[in-house]
Structure 1
Amino acid sequence: MAYMVPDTIPRRATAGERILFESLKDHLPSDYIVYYEPEIRGRRPDFVIIGPDLGLVILEVKDYIKSTLYQVNHDEWTLRNTAGELITTKSPLKQARDNARIIENYLKKDKNLIQETGSYLKFPYGFGTVFTRLKQEDFIRLDLYQVIEPQFVLCRDEIDPDEDGFSPDILRDKIHEMFTVWTTRKTILTDEDIQAIRFHLFPEVRISAEYRTPIQHQDQLLLSLHNIKTMDLHQENMAKQIGDKHRLIRGVAGSGKTLVLASRAKMLAKAHPDWKILVLCYGIPLSRSLKQMIEQKLDEPDDLMDLINAEATNPIKASKIEVYNFHEWLRNSLHMKDSEIPALLDKVYKNEAIVPAYDAILIDEGQDFEPDWLKLLSFCLNPDTQSLLLVEDRAQSIFKRKTSLAQDIGLDFRGRSKILSINYRNTAQIVQFAWDFYQEHSQLKNKVQDGSIEGVEIIPPQSTKRKGPEPMIKGFRDIQEEMNFVSKSIICLHQQKNIPFEDIAILYRVKNSYRISYIDEIKHSLNEHELPFTWITENAESKRNFIRNERTIKISTIDSAKGLDFRAVFIINIENMPFSLEEVEEREVSLFYIGMTRALEWLFLSYSGESKFTQYLDEVSRKRKEQPSSHKQFG
């Protein structure tokens, strides 16, 4: 079964396109990707098929019937429309060929996708036509194979399983034959090749890549890309198929929820340049990171060759996207505090107050938004668009929501919800460790469910196959000894593992106690070891000035690190969790889970005292000693 993007065909599709969509989905191999009407270089080919042993094939779909055809030749077709009028259009095969050549010429700009000798793509590309309402006998009777060779045609009885004579093998074989240039050397596309093709053709899926200086080659500038990263196909599907009007995405930590939201913001800005778009989250540091992510996506040209053109401009750059944390938006747009929201809502209900209007609102960390906040935002949403995207993970909830989304916003999300259950951020070891802790301590473990999203509170994460060291657990006599270990470990990670300082974070629960200032000990140790750092959560100004890529170690409270990630994370003085002054222990469970899932590769858990959580960690350490060979450690 092929992977379809989107995974269900839109309602606007014709009946014939639906039949072809389902046939390709059911009968092509599982490592094939099929795009329906993707936007590529300003065009929308009907279907684009990418397969490791296939290469790339473009299909043009027509629902012509016999009476539609008036006069045809290799270049132009004259058709009779439903009103009986004659119209002339380009040959369907020529349309498919032109789309294929545009894609070919664009992909050839990347030297990693062309042959080592010559200027051809290193994989085959082809094109063909699909006539969903004409059978092979119609083509023979009308002599249409003289205009389009059988090699480039799929008829109704070749794509519809309900037709006599349909064969999945013939369908696959004909798609494999839609090439004009053959090579004796069989090229199998690697995962990296397919990722590169998606990177070039679909700018919205880009995460990052290293750009190397363009080089002159056979009168053509070629761009060399390395360490390409694109959205996972499931994430891409999510961003593209969110659809119109209100939508809910629930995802586990590290599933790319924020990435999907940022990509969705760019798609909306590109499709509706006149729209006013609002992006909100709860935490200030995440709002800064989210703003930088969206700005990077908006600034990046669709055509990467524009990177070498200093005068290249991006029309999306001027789009009206506002990115704030909720309280900042409230202060800037309404000049009020959240305690004043109930009074404002009362006036809005009575049509005595006007609130800012937005054509689209996208909310990250939705699980931490109060019901009144959501109600207020629902009044700010254009009723004609109803374009609301709410992204949340109940396992990361630090504030208990008391009512349902339908009650909060007045919108029913049943049938409009999606799940992102695969954790792409963390290694399998970190995912499992964090989830084991959560299941052991959360009072919501009875609400953990698989399957349908309706009513699901907590989504169990599925890890990727990416492996790494087990989280390290260390107990110490005092905070000074603890921080000495942290500083030396950071030096080791930086020098031996080549981890930049900006990819390292130290997270804490409280900055001081009645006996000691933990934050002073952190800073003292880092200064003593001559390590650069930024204390993100020192005050409101430091939060607002947070720059993710600043080349310093980041120091933050756990809750302010929500939505962020780092290659190495140190969670210190865990003896302060659960915090004695916190009435709801469930919040402490969520916080610790959040902290652990900030780590991409390396997770260090340390403490110099005792608590319920450290007792759990001590027990994990004891069990590890009984099975030492199964745990890869730091060093």
Structure 2
Amino acid sequence: MKDLHIFENIRMPYDSNFKRITEAESLAIFERLAPEYTVVMKEREEVYVPEIEDELPAESEEITGDEVEYRTFYLDDYQVGQINDMGRGHRVILANAGAGKSVLLLSKAFKYTGMYKGSNVLLTCFNNNLADSYRFKKSCAAMTGHDRKLYILTLHRLVAKLFKECLGKTIDEYATDEEIEECIAAIKDGRIKIRFKAIFIDEVQIFTPLWLELCYSLLESSQESLFLMAGDLNQTVRSQSRRGDAPWKKIADGKLDFTGRVKYIEKNYRNSPEISGFLNRMLTYMNSKLSELDMINLDEFEYDTFENGDSKNVALKITTEINRGQIKDVVIGAIHEIADKYHIGYSEIAVLYPQKGNRLFKYNFLYWVTEGLKQDQIQFSIISTPEDGQKVKYSDTRGVVLSSIDSSLGLDFRAVIIAGLYPFNYVFDSNSNAKKLSSWETVGKLEPDVKENVQVEMRKLYTACSRAREVLYVLSDLTPGTIMDDIIKNGEK
């Protein structure tokens, strides 16, 4: 589709010098006519370091084809084929990071919204930042008008709206299981009447069976209805799943048959070959160890389905055994190096960390890094939970993006720095007792729930590294010989 020039013969009689519109203008027009076959990405090419106290002008979200901040890209033939595969019923797409499943989900949502005008279509996920990126892309598309009813909501925002608008009740930001069960009961007895022609769920591996049951109960009863879930079992960043127990298998009390309805996508659109090679080695080693400890069943799902990416290759840098007292200076130095050496703007760099800090270890990673950025007058935006600082919406970020790994799920950046890993030397049990992960034998002796927490930490490390498109720096202050240090070093080989 990249060679398609459907507007090249357009003439403007009032402009004698006009020959043809540019490729950027063609893309912008095509994006408005068929948004399901394009993807809009937020990009900046120039290295620009504003004074930290300066206020940047607000950016427009209108796409004309001239902006450097936002670019439109055609989807390839494979992606278009997936979008046009109009299978009905309930389906699952499993894909490792970089396979473009979020792009496919949004494009399919656009497709259904256009096909069934006037019908409700729902796209839901867990992560607020991912939902915000979806809404940004929707605002760039021609998804307007009373007959285009595409709703993009996080799961908890969906529940809150159902309670407020259908039941006249207000609940907290995060619904409890009891409130979700009350919501399901209200749907079944007719107090909540809204239904959706198609429901798309992103990052399904994070959803509990109860959350999925709620979504499924909102689906229209018709042959044209679609219930499509997409996710990556290697990116389970919350303690929800259990071994051999995919959450979607419990929808409708396990009565739904998913035989032949699970599709794997292997292609990697995001990562450069060097980065995807590192991810492959790390992922394969990690899953083999989990299998040896009987924590996952490799025969149940294709955990290691992962092709090397072919994006522009820029840099991969793995630095281990950093002194924890020097981590701030190393991170700030890495930010300068990426901007200067690779000509990547500060606003295209993300620093991802497991948690903002840990009082037990006197480890205050986010505070250290923000102080370093202020000292060097580098603007930054925090997109994690409000507890981490002054959170901003992903679409409103300025300067270096600081985010917890959890909050980065579904997002990607030209350059990513993974740091603040020292707490991954340990895992915490239900009583908040720290247990050092000094060896794989140590993991094998842990209680089942604590083992699951260890697996979540491993998946978070993989998730963070997979956010990088062109440049990945892993700056580790982990203790040598611990299992997370072992995973990183095996990926580096």
- Relative to the length of structure 2, the TM-score reads 0.74
Cα distance in 2 for residues equivalent to 1:293 and 1:199: 11
1:400 aligns to 2:241 (yes or no):
yes
State the one-letter code of the partner of 2:196: Y
Q: Which residue of 2 aligns with 1:285?
A: 129
The range that moved more, 345-354 or 464-473, is 345-354
Q: Which residue of 2 aligns with 1:440?
A: 285
Cα distance in 2 for residues equivalent to 1:543 and 1:378: 35
Deviations 1:80-129 (A, max 9, x none): xxxxxxxxxxxxxxxxxxxxxxx96x342499xxxxx99699xxxxxxxx
Q: Which residue of 2 aligns with 1:324?
A: 153
Identify if the C-alpha distance between structure 1 residues 366 and 223 changes in structure 2 by more than 3 Å, giving closer, same or farther: closer
Deviations 1:567-604 (A, max 9, x none): 11111122322542162221111111100000011111
1:382 is aligned, of 203, 217, 220, to: 220
User: Does the 8 Å contact 1:394/1:457 carry over to 2?
Assistant: no
State the one-letter code of the partner of 2:488: L
Q: Which residue of 2 aligns with 1:205?
A: 37
1:527 aligns to 2:374 (yes or no):
yes
Cα distance in 1 for residues equivalent to 2:334 and 2:352: 15
Cα deviation for residue 467 of structure 1 reads 5.0
Please give the root-mean-square deviation of Cα atoms over the aligned residues, in Å.
Answer: 3.9
Cα distance in 2 for residues equivalent to 1:525 and 1:225: 31
Cα deviation for residue 486 of structure 1 reads 1.8
Cα distance in 1 for residues equivalent to 2:227 and 2:213: 12
Q: Which residue of 1 aligns with 2:9?
A: 108
Cα distance in 1 for residues equivalent to 2:79 and 2:420: 36
Cα distance in 2 for residues equivalent to 1:432 and 1:457: 18
Cα distance in 1 for residues equivalent to 2:130 and 2:285: 28
State the one-letter code of the partner of 1:247: R
Q: Which protein shows a greater Rg?
A: 1
1:357 aligns to 2:198 (yes or no):
no
1:566 aligns to 2:413 (yes or no):
yes
1:244 aligns to 2:55 (yes or no):
no
Q: Which residue of 2 aligns with 1:148?
A: none
Identify if the C-alpha distance between structure 1 residues 228 and 556 changes in structure 2 by more than 3 Å, giving closer, same or farther: closer
Cα deviation for residue 258 of structure 1 reads 0.7
Matches within 5 A, 1:477-556: 477-513=322-358, 514=360, 515-539=362-386, 545-548=392-395, 550-556=397-403
Aligned with 2:142: secondary structure?
Answer: helix
Q: Which residue of 2 aligns with 1:418?
A: 263
Give the number of aligned pairs: 420
State the one-letter code of the partner of 1:338: T
User: Does the 8 Å contact 1:575/1:614 carry over to 2?
Assistant: no
User: Does the 8 Å contact 2:278/2:491 carry over to 1?
Assistant: no
User: Does the 8 Å contact 2:102/2:202 carry over to 1?
Assistant: yes
Deviations 1:394-431 (A, max 9, x none): 11123315356343145333344432211111111111
Identify if the C-alpha distance between structure 1 residues 485 and 361 changes in structure 2 by more than 3 Å, giving closer, same or farther: same
User: Does the 8 Å contact 2:117/2:148 carry over to 1?
Assistant: yes
State the one-letter code of the partner of 1:586: Q
Cα deviation for residue 615 of structure 1 reads 3.7
Aligned with 1:537: secondary structure?
Answer: coil
Cα distance in 2 for residues equivalent to 1:541 and 1:329: 24
Cα distance in 2 for residues equivalent to 1:560 and 1:346: 27
Q: Which residue of 1 aligns with 2:54?
A: none
Q: Which residue of 2 aligns with 1:427?
A: 272
State the one-letter code of the partner of 2:189: N
Cα distance in 2 for residues equivalent to 1:225 and 1:552: 18
User: Does the 8 Å contact 2:205/2:247 carry over to 1?
Assistant: no
Aligned with 1:462: secondary structure?
Answer: coil
Identify if the C-alpha distance between structure 1 residues 620 and 352 changes in structure 2 by more than 3 Å, giving closer, same or farther: closer
Cα deviation for residue 561 of structure 1 reads 0.7
Cα distance in 1 for residues equivalent to 2:470 and 2:226: 36
Cα deviation for residue 555 of structure 1 reads 1.0
Cα deviation for residue 618 of structure 1 reads 4.6
Identify if the C-alpha distance between structure 1 residues 343 and 326 changes in structure 2 by more than 3 Å, giving closer, same or farther: closer
Q: Which residue of 2 aligns with 1:9?
A: none
Cα distance in 2 for residues equivalent to 1:265 and 1:595: 27
State the one-letter code of the partner of 1:589: M
Matches within 5 A, 1:164-203: 202-203=34-35
Cα distance in 2 for residues equivalent to 1:395 and 1:389: 19
Q: Which residue of 1 aligns with 2:484?
A: 613
Identify if the C-alpha distance between structure 1 residues 392 and 263 changes in structure 2 by more than 3 Å, giving closer, same or farther: same
User: Does the 8 Å contact 1:428/1:463 carry over to 2?
Assistant: yes
Aligned with 2:347: secondary structure?
Answer: helix
Which structure is richer in relative contact order (CA contacts within 8 A, separation 6 or more)? Answer: 2
Cα distance in 1 for residues equivalent to 2:388 and 2:464: 23
Q: Which residue of 1 aligns with 2:211?
A: 373
Q: Which residue of 1 aligns with 2:306?
A: 461
Cα deviation for residue 474 of structure 1 reads 1.7
Cα deviation for residue 487 of structure 1 reads 1.4
Identify if the C-alpha distance between structure 1 residues 534 and 109 changes in structure 2 by more than 3 Å, giving closer, same or farther: same
Aligned with 1:468: secondary structure?
Answer: coil
State the one-letter code of the partner of 1:231: L
Runs of 5+ consecutive residues of structure 2 not aligned to the other structure: 43-63, 164-169, 430-449
Cα distance in 2 for residues equivalent to 1:471 and 1:223: 31
